[in-house]
Amino acid sequence: MDEENARLAGASSTTLGRKSWTAFAGVVLIGLLLLALAVPLAWRAAPWLGVLALILIAGIAGLKVWSISSCRLYSNDAGVWVESGVLPWRRGVHGVKWRDLDEATYTQSLWSWLFKSYAIRIGHRYTKSSEILLSQIARGNESVMAINQQHQDLIRRNLLR
């Protein structure tokens, strides 16, 4: 299945969404807080320990930001897919084929409306374990509308088998 998904990822695709800036805010704030607290404490114990703490915190925060930015929601002729991960053992593609798609929905709240950052769900018609759940997608409401519109167009043209 992974080989098939990788092949489908290479097909002509349309990017529907990426993570919003709100997904990065928590990581950046926690990273800055750890830098402000842990590095001076470690430096007092030993300067080399302070430098090590700085490198570790910056490296882990950088990796997390890179990982968040790697998330991409896209569609192609086969279905709707999510590609994510930067490390070889975390990288992958999963999704829902058009013929198995139930519906795409998004969650509305004051914060999501205010920051245009939505949680979306792309349902699988037969099983919940194969659905796509993503949080903090920039303009996720527009992504959901595009997915549902494309799905309806395929149904009307009777292209789903």
> Are 58 and 103 part of one and the same domain?
no
pLDDT in tens, 87-98: 999 999 999 999
CB proximity list for 115: less than 8 A, separation 6 or greater: 20, 21, 22
On whether residue 11 sits in a domain, the answer given is: no
Say yes or no: 86 and 106 in one domain. no
- Same-domain status, 87 and 109: no
How sure is the predictor about 142, in pLDDT bands with cuts at 50, 70 and 90? very high
Instruction: Give the percent of the chain with pLDDT over 90.
Output: 82
Burial of 98 from C-beta contacts in 10 A (0-12 / 13-18 / 19+) = buried
User: Does residue 4 belong to any structural domain of this protein?
Assistant: no
CA distance 76 to 9: 8
Whether the per-residue pLDDT at 140 is higher than 90: the answer is yes
Judgement on whether residues 62 and 112 belong to the same structural domain of the protein: no
Provide, rounded to the nearest whole percent, the portion of the chain with pLDDT above 70. Answer: 91
Is 61 part of any domain?
A: yes
In a domain, 2, yes or no: no
Residues 112 and 161 in one domain: yes
Same domain, 125 and 153: yes
Indicate if 23 and 87 belong to the same structural domain: yes
pLDDT above 80: residue 8? no
- Quote the Cα angle for 123-77-10, to 5°: 105
86 and 108 belong to one structural domain: no
Residue 158 has pLDDT above 90, yes or no: no
Count of domains observed in the chain: 2
Q: Are residues 115 and 159 in the same domain?
A: yes
For residue 134, the enclosing domain spans 95-161
